[in-house]
Structure 1
Amino acid sequence: MLFFASRRLQSALMLLIVTGPLFACASRPESGYLTPVAGSSSVTSEHTILVATTRERDMRPGTLFNGERTSSLDHASITVSVPPTHVPGKVELASTAPGKPESSFVVRDAAYIDGDQAFIQSLNAQLAQRPPGSRRVLLFIHGYNTMFAEGLYRFTQVVHDSKAVAVPVLFTWASRGKVSEYVYDNNSATAARDDLEHTLRLILASNAEEVNILAHSMGNWVAVEAFRQIKISGNLENTGKIGSVFLASPDIDLDVFKTQMRRIGRPDKPVYIVISKDDVALGFSKFIAGGQVRVGDATNAQELADLGVTVIDLTNLEGDDAANHAKFAQLATVGPELGKVLGKGLGQSTAQRQQTAGGTLGAILGAPIRIIAGQ
């Protein structure tokens, strides 16, 4: 039937082709890539990632979780090493599983964690390794078309490149990691709202002093819905621990997002929305949604800023992926410099709000970043 496809459908199919995996490799890391690899750790950097997931356990060796849904929240602890040849912003994935520590991201150790209490104990043990004042958590929620290993390795790259001292926690929902499964993924994300809320409340009840949140693509739908549910519940215990929230390339209908923000209210903590008007993946999502603008490729950044958030416009930044959907990962390489720019505060006049981040930040990225502060 494709021979009779309309031009509009043909365009959508082309978008499907280019919005594939974010990793430049011959195969995607479905099975075997999480097999623990032994060897000296003296030449690599290692990061222990705590996992909360709505994915089904996968009994295949070196896989841990697949893309099917489970009825209960599950947990794991995984230590990942980054090769000494790592290029900032990249994920060096082995061409064949499980890979070599000298040249690719590999797992050093992995174990399931059974139950909420064991998860909290593991989290508190990690926090105790940080001095008081530095006991922070970074919670990451991945996006559409993401296999478990892909989300794990991408988050590790962000943690490594940003030199984050926070305890990294990955919330991973049941994405099948297939371009053709957009509707399944969207429903899986929706089904994960309660579990993300539960996970967030567990983290807030831990010994963490601050919890910062990063969501990407469709993961923003899960995150913002969880925030909305917390607000509606009226149980705001420990929510003062929430620090900065980064919503990268949000795959959310702009009108829906406005209604969510009206329920949540104007944020009293920093909320940053990372957008790019050349995001091809969100262009595909917009097509499926009948032409409705997505937050992550909104043409009117000021309209978003008026909701009380700060917009980081990366349109002029050249992306590392063909779909320009993973530009947020490049921000990790300039985490401290970006923090300094944002920490100085942005003026409230139109001229001051529309700034170009220069100096060290601009030089590192090689392209300007437009920052528009919320009012």
Structure 2
Amino acid sequence: MLITLAGCGTRPGPEVLRSYPDGSEGRRTVTIYVATSREAAEVAHEGFTNDRAENLSYAAFTISIPPNHVSGEIEWPYSARPHPDTKFTVVRHVVLSKQAFDKAVNADASDSGRIALFVHGFNVSFQEGLFRLAQLSADSEITGVPVFFSWPSQARLLDYATDRESATFSRDGLTDVLEQLTSLSKVRSVMLFGHSMGGWLSMEALRQLALEGDRPALRKLNVILAAPDIDEDVFNAQLDVIGPLDPPLLVMVSADDRALAASRLLQGNHQRAGQLDITDPDVVAKAREEHVLLLDISSVSSSDPLNHSRYADLAAIYPELEDTNDMSSPLRQAGALIFDAVGNTLSAPFDLAGDALAGD
């Protein structure tokens, strides 16, 4: 497993964050708003480091998308001078105060009333998470304003324990950001999307909101966890405190997720929430009891050898996940579903006939 992880290829450094204003000419752009518990880099154009900061920082990055962009991929600008025709390129980077961040996000949300908040997972640098959200925004038709919460992952394979502590350190920060965003006057709903260890962090923030009695904030949330790296018993305990969400909390699971298999071995062979078996009637019954929807995405081809980042290739389904007003959608029902990547269809684990994703 370690050999496989170590061989995942070259990783982008902070140099990819250098901005080139002329890179936006005639090209599609995505503006990502950032709230982070990372320390700001000494050189502004390098963004944020892997160190923990006492206070949250805010920023905005506008990234141009190349015309030849392949869905699910990030065309990294590794060269000293990126080519916007073929590479993702930062064209604008501004540091924001909390007040400026709130004002800008609120203004951009005035049309849709929606925000899409992404929380990355273990072993992810600031630039990797930022560009991933740019890719997701470019590939999907989600109307929400993209916001990136970045916690200080060390972005090193052997720093799993340190990353877990850094995620714990960031619980109050994410809770504060959720309270900020849900209180904005133009915002009607926030899609909270947590991946891997970011799923655990998201659940902890939701738990804190529940303990504070902030039900108005919880009522505005549409929560999605992709391959959450959470102990099954811890997950159930978190759910007990948070209570039922509407729409149901959605958990994307894959039995063949090798990263979660490694995490399970590291932590006493305790089942991870991202590997729950939806063919087990007891698991499905528990999901219904807790008002959770388990969505098996094992049929989606994975761009990484660990099958841990399938969510990046699911752009077709995200508009459905965002639409919380369609009461007839199967994605609003607790229980379990299987996603068929070939036909973009959903089916129950015990009735594989299924219904089309869009439905009749």
TM bucket by the smaller chain?
0.7 to 0.9
Alpha-carbon distance, 1:305 to partner: 4.4
Deviations 1:168-227 (A, max 9, x none): 110000001111111110000011000100000000111212111111000011110111
Amino acid of the structure 2 residue aligned with 1:232: L
Give the equivalent residue in structure 2 for 1:165. Answer: 143
Kindly tell me the number of residue pairs found equivalent between the two proteins. Answer: 343
Spell out the pairing of 1:355-366 with structure 2 (5 A cutoff): 356-357=338-339, 362-363=342-343
Whether the 8 Å contact between 2:117 and 2:147 is mirrored in structure 1 is yes
Give the equivalent residue in structure 2 for 1:49. Answer: 32
Give the equivalent residue in structure 1 for 2:301. Answer: 318
Confirm or deny that 1:223 pairs with 2:209.
Answer: no
Give the equivalent residue in structure 2 for 1:5. Answer: none
Alpha-carbon distance, 1:159 to partner: 1.1
Whether the 8 Å contact between 2:199 and 2:229 is mirrored in structure 1 is yes
Structure 1 SS opposite 2:308: coil
Alpha-carbon distance, 1:17 to partner: 3.1
Cα distance in 2 between the residues matched to 1:346 and 1:212:
17
Structure 1 SS opposite 2:57: strand
Whether the 8 Å contact between 1:273 and 1:311 is mirrored in structure 2 is yes
Amino acid of the structure 1 residue aligned with 2:108: Q
- Mark the CA change 1:197 to 1:217 in structure 2 (over 3 Å): closer, same or farther: same
TM-score, normalised to structure 1's length?
0.84
Whether the 8 Å contact between 1:275 and 1:295 is mirrored in structure 2 is yes
Whether the 8 Å contact between 2:218 and 2:245 is mirrored in structure 1 is no
Cα distance in 2 between the residues matched to 1:20 and 1:307:
38
Cα distance in 1 between the residues matched to 2:147 and 2:106:
12
Whether the 8 Å contact between 1:54 and 1:74 is mirrored in structure 2 is yes
TM-score, normalised to structure 2's length?
0.87
Give the equivalent residue in structure 1 for 2:356. Answer: none
Gaps of 5+ in 1: 1-14
Cα distance in 1 between the residues matched to 2:42 and 2:332:
55
Spell out the pairing of 1:334-353 with structure 2 (5 A cutoff): 334-336=317-319, 344-346=328-330
Match of 1:250 among 223, 228, 237: 228
Misfit runs of 4+, over 3 Å: 303-306, 336-349, 352-358, 368-373
Amino acid of the structure 2 residue aligned with 1:176: Q
Give the equivalent residue in structure 2 for 1:117. Answer: 99
- Mark the CA change 1:353 to 1:145 in structure 2 (over 3 Å): closer, same or farther: closer
Quote the RMSD (CA, aligned, Å).
2.7
- Mark the CA change 1:338 to 1:111 in structure 2 (over 3 Å): closer, same or farther: closer
Alpha-carbon distance, 1:94 to partner: 2.6
Structure 2 SS opposite 1:282: helix
- Mark the CA change 1:313 to 1:305 in structure 2 (over 3 Å): closer, same or farther: farther
Spell out the pairing of 1:271-350 with structure 2 (5 A cutoff): 271-299=249-277, 300=280, 301-302=283-284, 303-336=286-319, 344-346=328-330
Match of 1:178 among 151, 156, 164: 156
Alpha-carbon distance, 1:344 to partner: 3.5
Confirm or deny that 1:76 pairs with 2:62.
Answer: no
Gaps of 5+ in 2: 351-360
Spell out the pairing of 1:23-34 with structure 2 (5 A cutoff): 26-34=9-17
